[in-house]
A and B are shown apart, each in its own frame.
Chain A
Amino acid sequence: MKTTLKLLMVLFVTLLVSCGGKEEKKKESFSYQKKTTTEKAATPKAEKVPASKKVDLDNKGIGPITSITLGAEVDQAMATHGEDVYKKMCTACHRADKKFIGPAPTGILERRTPEWVMNMILNPEEMTQKDPLAKELLIEFNGAPMANQHLTEEDARAVLEYFRTLK
């Protein structure tokens, strides 16, 4: 029974992969995946921590940022610039302290490495395809894609500095 289901699933996925428009396919597979997670995980879900609450301070993510060092003190000028960039480019989907279209950035550095945060800003397509946490987040947030707003590395770094001020 289980194997038939699996087989059917594989078939269905292959079908989706092999035909249909790019975006449409994504949507279908998201809603499909969502169903399975709710159905399959009906009982064990109680213990499962959602990706937005998971803590992983080792994963640096995938993208141009491999290593950054944060200063001991917040660089206030940089944080102010970061707040400005954040307001212009991010508030359409993010609120500082509440879940909106995407997760809230408050306290993000208690859950993620600075590199991961910057890579998520600078390289969202690849992150949501390959990084396990980003993949989970995409599903947790109903498949709402993290838009690539093409920030410069400097601006993304400033946004990160601004995030340090959000407690």
Chain B
Amino acid sequence: MKSTLAVLGVLVAFTSCNNSGNSDKKSGALASNVAEKVYIAPGEYDSHYAFLSGGYSGNLTVYGLPSGRMFKEIPVFSQFPTSGYGYSEETKPMLNTSHGFIPWGDAHHPDISQTKGEIDGRFIFINENNTPRIAKIDLKTFETTEIIEVPNSAGNHSSSFVTENTEYVVAGTRFSVPIPQRDMPIKEYKGNFKGALSFISVAPETGEMDIKFQVLMPGFNYDLSHPGRGKSHGWFFFTTYNTEEASTLLEVNASQNDKDFIAAINWKKIEEYVNNGGGTMMPTNYAHNVYDEDTHTATSIMKKEVRVVNPSEVPGAVYFIPTPKSPHGCDVDPTGEYIVGNGKLSANLTVHSFIKMLDAIENEKFAGEAYGIPILNFEDVLAGVVEQPGLGPLHTEFDGKGNAYTTFFISSEVVKWKIGTWEVIDRKPTYYSVGHLTIPGGNSGKPQGKYMFAMNKITKDRYLPTGPEMEHSAQLYDISGDKMELLLDFPTHGEPHYAAAMEASLIKERSQKIYKLADNKHPFAAKSDDDTKVVREGKEVHIYMTTIRSHFSPDNIEGVKVGDKVYFHVTNLEQDFDVPHGFAVIGQNNSELLVMPGQTKTSVWEPKQVGVWPFYCTDFCSALHQEMQGYIRVSAADSDTPIKWSLGEDIE
């Protein structure tokens, strides 16, 4: 009875919303049918996970499909006071770079690890555009566990896409720069700047990343990329713009050429060359940051050299395919045969054929060369053209059933077209100015398409106004039929540039519930009450503290002085799912800590005033959460208050 009422209530809510809406002309009955398609009853699960990049938030958000509910924000490139990521002593090294500690990032293109061309759900990779880095997030814990900086790169945009067995995660530079960096006039860009395309190997067992080699390409802008798959496995494709090599007013100067290129890189060939000692080790400086799940601590190591390869050293490994007008997205269909160049200033959508490309290469049918790299004939490689499908094509995804879906930024729509016949099958408006779109399993040989969602750049009137700034909006479509059906609007966080999605079953069962206390190897862990203590080492005071519902041990601390550097090493003794404890102390200049069961985290506190100061748990942990508190006494710098600590001394 109650549930009927609830369903009715929801239906009424949806129906009434629809009546006031103006974009949907559907009847009330149809609208309620749509509501059912995205309605996940309380306590039930979504069928898919979606991981949306946060753009300038630097992070990654986790959503459920079809409900559009946000489950989590995973901190990646930005400090996150909610958990203490980037503030705690253990995680600060994650944000170290050759430019020092960087508290922020611009996160762009998440991509999930693959085995045999299928999404395997082990890791998700994402690139930082501004200070070039690639991060790896472990999907057991939904935590960022590794970040590698990419030297010789600037505007790490044609990244972070993986090959079909996650042999490599690839990072291409958007901006070409002097390599090595040096002081030189900007006007001498042309012919002197270079674009580095980095192939970062991923260890099969651990997932550890290592820059295997960088291909030093001509000084164009490398915009987006995708791996070959199936028959084209072993190749990687990058769109370029600014083949004019302009350094100023690119808005005009980089739009002069009728065609730019898609660069086709035979990475297998270069890998073989490198495995035989090819390439040159070049001095450089970049950070490699790894989080250890046993010590709960990240370390940052500065690497001092990187292997670089000039295309001219490996004949037959790099080719240019002419592609109309500043192509943006570079998308490879599930079979690996078709490479779509989304020429953003072009009226038509260009599709290249991998087989034709191989044929042209074999017959050496070249139209010319650029910096020694052969240029193929546009017509020789062309598979087909989707004629005037819309304005401003950006990105294409595939449903695995022979259809492609392309976003059009200027005309604000998603267009569905058929691979092979190149005919437009359907078009649906987006609200408004769509950028990326995602189909679960997108960058793989086996899309899991029932849903597609479009990530829009402009929101305007889709939600209640929230001042001049609105969260960006995503739109979910059902793509199981011939025609796309708009199901849902949902707000997103930051600015999603691409998202990766997959069936929930791939990771749900493997999701880790706790960290085992027995495996905790943190050097400052207190794994039981016996281990709790306060130790002074000169001006440093280390507090080995534990938490369990609902007290800190110790909770009375004395002997700390003004001018000390106090390390609160907090170990959460809980071994039960979803029972974190928080830690906050008055005047904390960094952030709180949120400590997972079995984990140890450290916050540094530098008391500046004499007094007795409270600390408390920030995460509502039990009925006695409000009682979870303690005091730390701070004496004058010249006092001789002895170090003392206790818990419940006066308990009966």
A27-B551 Cα distance, complex, nearest whole Å: 16
Contact partners of B514 in chain A: CB under 8 A: 150
Contact partners of B530 in chain A: CB under 8 A: 87, 91
A24-B625 Cα distance, complex, nearest whole Å: 10
Stretch of B197-205, B213-221, B440-448, B572-580 that contacts chain A: B572-580
A68-B652 Cα distance, complex, nearest whole Å: 34
For A88, give the chain B residue with the smallest CB separation. B528
Contact partners of A21 in chain B: CB under 8 A: 620
Q: Are B622 and A143 in contact (CB under 8 A)?
A: yes
Q: A23-B625, A27-B623, A150-B514 are in contact. Are A144 and B550 (CB under 8 A)?
A: yes
Category for how many chain A residues contact B: 20 to 34
Q: Are B622 and A23 in contact (CB under 8 A)?
A: yes
Rounded to whole Å, the gap between the CB of A5 and the closest CB of chain B is 24
Q: Are B623 and A93 in contact (CB under 8 A)?
A: no
Stretch of A6-14, A57-65, A96-104, A158-166 that contacts chain B: A96-104
Rounded to whole Å, the gap between the CB of B476 and the closest CB of chain A is 28
Interface membership of B648, Cβ < 8 A: yes
Q: Are A92 and B622 in contact (CB under 8 A)?
A: no
Which residue among B518, B549, B621 has the maximum number of chain A CB atoms within 10 Å of its CB?
B549
Q: For B573, give its contact among A92, A98, A145 (CB under 8 Å).
A: A92
Q: A21-B620, A91-B528, A91-B530 are in contact. Are A27 and B575 (CB under 8 A)?
A: no
The dominant DSSP class at the A interface is loop
Q: Are B528 and A93 in contact (CB under 8 A)?
A: no
Contact partners of B623 in chain A: CB under 8 A: 23, 26-27, 30, 142-145
Contact partners of A100 in chain B: CB under 8 A: 648, 651
**In chain B, residues 508-563, which have Cβ atoms closer than 8 Å to a Cβ of chain A?**
514, 517-518, 527-530, 546, 548-551, 553
> Binary interface profile of A, 130-164, with partner B (CB < 8 Å = 1, else 0)?
00000000000011110111100000000000000
The dominant DSSP class at the B interface is loop
Interface membership of A16, Cβ < 8 A: no
Q: Are B624 and A142 in contact (CB under 8 A)?
A: yes
Contact partners of A148 in chain B: CB under 8 A: 575-576
Q: A147-B579, A148-B575, A150-B576 are in contact. Are A91 and B529 (CB under 8 A)?
A: yes
A92-B527 Cα distance, complex, nearest whole Å: 10
> Binary interface profile of B, 613-643, with partner A (CB < 8 Å = 1, else 0)?
0000000111111100000000000000000
Q: Are B517 and A88 in contact (CB under 8 A)?
A: yes
A88-B576 Cα distance, complex, nearest whole Å: 15
Q: Are B528 and A24 in contact (CB under 8 A)?
A: no
**In chain A, residues 73-87, which have Cβ atoms closer than 8 Å to a Cβ of chain B?**
87
Q: Are A147 and B652 in contact (CB under 8 A)?
A: no
Contact partners of A150 in chain B: CB under 8 A: 514, 575-576
Rounded to whole Å, the gap between the CB of A148 and the closest CB of chain B is 4
Q: For A27, give its contact among B529, B579, B625 (CB under 8 Å).
A: B625
Interface membership of A89, Cβ < 8 A: yes
Contact partners of B621 in chain A: CB under 8 A: 23
Q: Are A147 and B651 in contact (CB under 8 A)?
A: no
Q: Are B624 and A92 in contact (CB under 8 A)?
A: no
> 18 more A-B contacts (CB under 8 A) besides A92-B546, A92-B551, A149-B576?
A23-B621, A23-B622, A24-B620, A26-B622, A26-B623, A27-B622, A27-B623, A87-B528, A89-B517, A91-B529, A92-B553, A98-B652, A99-B651, A143-B623, A143-B624, A144-B622, A149-B574, A150-B576
Residues of A bordering B, CB below 8 Å: 21, 23-24, 26-27, 30, 87-89, 91-93, 98-101, 142-145, 147-150
**Sample of 19 A–B contacts (CB below 8 Å):** A23-B621, A23-B622, A24-B620, A26-B623, A30-B623, A88-B518, A91-B530, A92-B529, A92-B553, A92-B573, A101-B551, A142-B624, A143-B623, A145-B549, A147-B574, A147-B575, A148-B575, A149-B574, A149-B576
Residues of B bordering A, CB below 8 Å: 514, 517-518, 527-530, 546, 548-551, 553, 573-576, 579, 620-626, 648, 651-652
- The list of the 8 closest CB pairs from A to B, nearest first, reads A143-B623, A27-B623, A92-B548, A91-B529, A149-B575, A148-B576, A150-B575, A88-B528
